Structure 1
């Protein structure tokens, strides 16, 4: 079965739920949209097609009001699969704030997208509607070179901008449409527009997007917050979640699920035969299957298209790790040293029962240009550093002296049995540690050593016997891992893309493999089990 629609989402589309509209603002918004025309409409007079599910969304946004008449809803998160006319609905809402009853004198209506091409799609949709709607066309001034439409009478303008358009500071938008937020590679424009909205009383933010991949992006943060509001975990009446998404474990071939998450199917869009053809092709091609699940069923996917493990199973090991309780316990370290701008990672592993493991990472990266590195990799390095998940070392490369000192500190703190290095970049550090009597060993990252290590790690994760504490950088590294398999079925890690970082996953595999080869009793073993171990 597909995931049931969240309560707030169901209220938007269910005809059984009454929507408050004490001042009639919901009704007048609907009437404005019904008066529009659309160049591709097949209805009489090219009338804009506002189907019941869309109408109820509009009423739910604009109807509910505070006693003073101000709108309750200030942020809308619309998660909708491809082909459900999200662009048309979004463009009509932008026109509602530019020419319709929601306009304000001198108001800025902004449509923002990931790049200029995507920004232009929504803008051209709005132009098409205006050209076939005479009252709007008579009041429109078009500036193509600026992607701007102006309502001269009210000095209101609608402008399409993109994340790659440079600075947008100084904006005071009354309405912002964040289009396909899942494709935004950095959050600079988001922060500027979000902060600008608070300058204008009664402003509205609409996030309209399909599902994305990975969790290290602004879209996942916003959608996940909306999910918590929908589930009642967060009380926020100003946020309206409209989330059409299937459960990641659903039967993606079940057409009943298609209809549940594609509200337009009941009205002829997207094309059901087209979906069936995509599904037939997806049965034979894994890449097409993942695209179908993401774009047509709105299932938020892992970052890697060929993942090492299901990240939902990996997340089962997010229970907190108590490092204080592990002090003095036998411990194995895996070290993956970086070249230039990559991450360096030290992972400690402790045995937890017969086949279980507890791991904790320490990440290092160059401190110089940390924000630029964040933009390059599309992850919040700055935030991670502020929260202590990454240790930035001075300079534009990782300071190996600092890493070595951290390893020495870990040896003082824990009962470290081995420190496993790939000798490629670690020769000096390895020799330094050996000279001081610390248990440094070589573990080359070739098929002979790493394939068994990957198997040990995979067995622990799938068996839900790996506890990692939910460390966000380590999770990102695992989410980036793709699997390369040889003719004998042995698996090795590799990056899905050149900019992906998997250093933490590699170090984790090294540490777990060395722990698997060692013999130690876990601090978490029960007292009932300990005597048996003594007898053996």
Structure 2
């Protein structure tokens, strides 16, 4: 691939001749930050051997208030009447609603107020959100720029040379994107631009576009050279008070953006868990659920084993198990917790090997990487064989004193048969020698409400320790709860962003442990041979 540095230079120099039209730097010339220059160069420098541009799609995802609109307003003008202009071009800024679509249009109009040498060639019709190059001898003669929204009709006849979709993550679908992108098929130098913070949905068109744009082969080369994607986001499991993470999502903090507002928002989110999801999405540009999950990321990170140490279990020690069995073609989770006062946690996950690539794309989860690092056990074929799970339970039962296995009865009939076949007879009620005590744990309010409460209490009191298993962390971070009229709580699988199997299994294990502690009979001091009555 060839690089046309002069083309990118022209775009950069054009934008830096424009004036900032509002804000604290009103009236000053634009000075692009290095991250903005890098994005522009990655878009405009790559060319084919015949000189035609390589890049036809460009994505910039960064936290709110990092002057995306100003940057893209400069690109609009560069395409309308600047170095990228061409006769009779069609240029659009688009968004979900018309007010959002006009943000960039209004920015362009304000920029032109400080550029009379450009404005004299243009006819601005603000009532129709339209700008036309009216001078026949000007760059881009006959070109038109318009603001569009998803509700505008009659877009199928367009032929966009350049368009920008502002805050694509807020769109409910990709209909407008598809219409505009498809309209570029016969254009000589088409360019489709997206600027947006991330959305929580890994299957949203924006998420898929970002993921596709970031993919690399084993040599680090882009799989799709026609797409440029620059993502500025904090690390998924970061501390919200870590200022270095703020900078990852807000590159303008290094140059001109003040830290006061983000510091105040971070402090509030640290105090109020219900604010954390919003802070992570808006300020850290993370792909998080907008609803408040049962356990916040910071709270879950707070009970991680220190210094990245593994969680250890001793042979023969009492433990509880809990199983959330999938439909045999999805994620299955088995959790083990210690029976002592501090609950140590270990989890195992299974998925059919043949479905790992498909499900990684579907869920936006790197199952393949988790399999390579040992966090995910893959089984041959397209189905999880219940015997595989039964053998793991038998292995744990041979190593530890399993006080009980809590399980969701759905999809487990075959599993129970396999347990019998290998000599680990499942029994309900009291424990029996040579048998595995199993507890049918319902998924309704009666069983799950105390399990959810036990889970929450273990985190709040910091009496739980986990080893950072990324799949368990994913499940916990996805777990939303619903509440009935009586205040009972259960996991809301319908609203949860993604898989929560591990969180369900952990809650069942904690619920069983807590139930049995409450039900344990009080021990009389007279039954203790070492008890001595105090002398008053």
TM-score, normalisation: structure 1: 0.60
Matched residues in 1 for 2:285 and 2:250: separation? Answer: 9
Structure 2 counterpart of 1:267 = 255
- Is 1:297 matched up with 2:301? no
Structure 1 counterpart of 2:145 = 158
Matched residues in 1 for 2:272 and 2:162: separation? Answer: 41
Which one of 19, 22, 26 corresponds to residue 8 of structure 2?
26
Which one of 58, 66, 84 corresponds to residue 84 of structure 1?
66
How far off its partner does 1:123 sit? 1.3
- Give a deviation string over 1:362-389, Cα, whole Å, max 9, x none: xxxxxxxxxxxxxxxxx9xxxxxxxx9x
Structure 1 counterpart of 2:267 = 280
The unaligned stretches of length 5 or more in structure 2 are 302-322, 338-345, 353-362, 364-381, 383-410, 419-439, 513-536
User: Match of 1:274, SS?
Assistant: helix
- Give a deviation string over 1:448-467, Cα, whole Å, max 9, x none: 45544897999999789999
- Check conservation: 2:451, 2:507, Cα contact below 8 A: no
Matched residues in 1 for 2:469 and 2:63: separation? Answer: 35
Structure 2 counterpart of 1:197 = 184
- Check conservation: 1:359, 1:467, Cα contact below 8 A: no
The unaligned stretches of length 5 or more in structure 1 are 1-18, 314-331, 336-343, 362-378, 380-387, 389-409, 418-440, 469-474, 518-536
Matched residues in 1 for 2:236 and 2:497: separation? Answer: 24
User: Match of 1:305, SS?
Assistant: coil
- Is 1:74 matched up with 2:60? no
- Check conservation: 1:359, 1:508, Cα contact below 8 A: no
- Is 1:40 matched up with 2:22? yes
Matched residues in 2 for 1:166 and 1:205: separation? Answer: 20
- Is 1:186 matched up with 2:173? yes
Matched residues in 2 for 1:274 and 1:466: separation? Answer: 31
- Check conservation: 2:237, 2:297, Cα contact below 8 A: no
Bigger radius of gyration: 2
- Check conservation: 2:471, 2:502, Cα contact below 8 A: no
Q: In structure 2, do the counterparts of structure 1 residues 444 and 204 end up closer, same or farther at CA, with 3 Å as the change threshold?
A: closer
- Is 1:255 matched up with 2:243? yes
- Check conservation: 2:475, 2:501, Cα contact below 8 A: no
- Check conservation: 1:107, 1:157, Cα contact below 8 A: yes
- Check conservation: 1:229, 1:241, Cα contact below 8 A: no
Alpha-carbon RMSD:
5.2
Which one of 180, 189, 193 corresponds to residue 206 of structure 1?
193
Structure 1 counterpart of 2:41 = 59
Matched residues in 2 for 1:48 and 1:356: separation? Answer: 53
Bigger relative contact order, structure 1 or 2 (CA pairs below 8 A, ≥6 apart): 1
How far off its partner does 1:228 sit? 1.9
Which one of 210, 220, 230 corresponds to residue 207 of structure 2?
220
Structure 1 counterpart of 2:119 = 137
TM-score, normalisation: structure 2: 0.60
How far off its partner does 1:170 sit? 2.4
How far off its partner does 1:175 sit? 0.8
- Give a deviation string over 1:164-203, Cα, whole Å, max 9, x none: 3346222211112121121111111122122222321211
Q: In structure 2, do the counterparts of structure 1 residues 265 and 510 end up closer, same or farther at CA, with 3 Å as the change threshold?
A: closer
- Check conservation: 1:123, 1:160, Cα contact below 8 A: yes
Q: In structure 2, do the counterparts of structure 1 residues 37 and 306 end up closer, same or farther at CA, with 3 Å as the change threshold?
A: same
Matched residues in 1 for 2:90 and 2:332: separation? Answer: 54
Structure 2 counterpart of 1:481 = 480
Q: In structure 2, do the counterparts of structure 1 residues 466 and 415 end up closer, same or farther at CA, with 3 Å as the change threshold?
A: farther
Matched residues in 2 for 1:171 and 1:484: separation? Answer: 48
How far off its partner does 1:348 sit? 10
Matched residues in 1 for 2:120 and 2:288: separation? Answer: 45
Matched residues in 2 for 1:503 and 1:51: separation? Answer: 36
Matched residues in 2 for 1:45 and 1:502: separation? Answer: 44
Structure 2 counterpart of 1:493 = 490
Equivalenced residue count is 403
- Is 1:148 matched up with 2:130? yes
- Check conservation: 2:122, 2:131, Cα contact below 8 A: yes
How far off its partner does 1:307 sit? 4.5
- Check conservation: 2:324, 2:334, Cα contact below 8 A: no
Matched residues in 2 for 1:280 and 1:220: separation? Answer: 28
